[in-house]
Amino acid sequence: MLVFLMVSYWGVRQRRNLKLKENFFKQNGGIMLQQLLYKSESTAERAKIYSEEELKKATDNYKESNIIGQGGYGTVYKGVLADTVVAIKKSKVVDRSQIDQFVNEVILLSQINHPNVVKLLGCCLETPVPLLVYEFVTNNTLFHHIHDEGCASSIPWGMRLRIATETAGALAHMHSAPVHIIHRDVKSANILLDDEYFAKVSDFGVSRLFSLEETHLATLVQGTFGYIDPEYFHSGILTQKSDVYSFGIVLLELLTGANVVSFVREEKDRNLSMYFLSAMEDDRLHEILEPRVREEGHASQIRGVAELAKKCLRIKGEKRPTMKEVEVELAMLTELNIQNNYWVGIGPNVEEIEPLLEDIMELYGSNSTSGFDSMNMPDDQRR
């Protein structure tokens, strides 16, 4: 009798858990996602729908030692699925009114194949909050390599310039996709690095999609303090130029190695953007550069990147460059090969560089979408 009761209880519990998973699957847009995946022409581009048991097993039941990141939006675990190391993001909350948007983002992001964007592999919808499965990137974040104790000045100037160019290219690619994607939380903590220090833009958890006809969207302000576009912060109007502003702050981190917000600095300079703009106005840029940047960087390159960052930080979004223009300028600055011209206040200034930049912009076209055309280009060619 006891065995019978235990088996009956176990059976009832299993059926209840199965029913609960089915309800979560429906609430999280599982049926819609399945239908859209079925219509997808290429099976290679389809996001995979994982079961809860698969992800539990992959993370050893979400063992604490497998946590590789935590933030305001959730926790990221390292896991192993079919002998492949993955990153599994477990969000804290989900907005049921935005399920359609979530499903569309999963479909679109899983189809993006760009060497500098973290690949979305799939999701699990059998839990109260959907779980997202990404490719695993091995070498921590750009924030870690710039700011964490023991890592300061660890990245050479040339590598910093390449990371900036790759990140700009990834964002330009997202902005020019058939359905525009605005990241909305661009920051050094969301730029991952692989073993060779190639950049991978990650965490599209608060990203928004735009149709080709839309140029802006009224939305609740989201992002990270210190990186948020002031125009977006005050108006609630989100545009692609909001990502440009945030990227400008990342450029400042790469140049100065300074924290985005610091209470060690004077009150007027606590925000990194104000600290930088004040130094530029007083012709003190060399004083705030990270020592390794000052020692290794060519004067023309440093001035060029600083002037580009200044353009990205313009208060009015319409006066900022596009991410494609930013990518092209950085690529041009990277190609400059000026011997024996380190930061000693000599050498050509940014006015001498700008005609070259105008030439390359004319070559590429300021509205070029060639970044999206390269989505299937092999990594070695893209790099």
Q: Round to whole Å and give the CA distance between 192 and 143.
A: 9
Which domain CATH number covers 293?
Answer: 1.10.510.10
Enclosing domain of residue 97: 28-135
Q: Give the pLDDT of residue 383.
A: 39
Say if residue 173 is in the same domain as residue 191: yes
Which domain CATH number covers 122?
Answer: 3.30.200.20
Say if residue 123 is in the same domain as residue 213: no
Say if residue 230 is in the same domain as residue 327: yes
Q: Give the pLDDT of residue 186.
A: 93
Q: Round to whole Å and give the CA distance between 204 and 186.
A: 9
Q: Is residue 11 in a domain?
A: no
Domain boundary among 87, 109, 135: 135
Q: Is residue 108 in a domain?
A: yes
End-to-end CA distance of the chain: 69
Domain boundary among 135, 168, 183: 135
Q: Round to whole Å and give the CA distance between 321 and 311.
A: 7
Please provide the size of the chain in residues: 383
Say if residue 52 is in the same domain as residue 160: no
Q: Is residue 74 in a domain?
A: yes
- Work out the burial of residue 9: count CB atoms within 10 Å of its CB; fewer than 13 is exposed, 13-18 middle, 19 or more buried: exposed
Q: Is residue 125 in a domain?
A: yes
Say if residue 247 is in the same domain as residue 161: yes
Say if residue 198 is in the same domain as residue 285: yes
pLDDT string in tens for the chain (383-residue length): 878 777 777 777 777 888 888 898 888 888 888 888 877 655 556 788 999 999 999 999 999 999 988 866 678 999 999 889 999 988 776 666 667 777 877 877 787 889 999 998 999 999 888 888 999 999 999 999 999 888 877 899 999 999 999 999 999 998 887 777 888 889 999 999 999 999 999 876 544 444 444 444 445 556 688 898 998 888 888 889 999 999 999 999 999 999 999 999 998 899 999 999 999 999 999 999 999 999 999 899 999 999 999 999 999 999 999 999 999 999 999 887 544 445 444 334 445 445 544 554 554 444 443 333 333 444 444 43
Say if residue 48 is in the same domain as residue 196: no
Say if residue 93 is in the same domain as residue 230: no
Q: Is residue 333 in a domain?
A: yes
Residues forming the active site:
185
SS3 113: coil
Q: Is residue 12 in a domain?
A: no
Say if residue 105 is in the same domain as residue 215: no
Say if residue 126 is in the same domain as residue 202: no
Q: Give the pLDDT of residue 275.
A: 96
Say if residue 223 is in the same domain as residue 318: yes
Say if residue 182 is in the same domain as residue 307: yes
User: Considering its fold, how many domains does the chain have in total?
Assistant: 2
Closest CA to 312 of 205, 168, 208, 169: 168
Domain boundary among 87, 111, 135: 135
Q: Is residue 23 in a domain?
A: no
Q: Which two tokens stand for residue 222?
A: 């989201």
Q: State phi, psi for 45 to the nearest 5 degrees.
A: -95, 0
Q: Round to whole Å and give the CA distance between 328 and 314.
A: 19
Q: Is residue 10 in a domain?
A: no
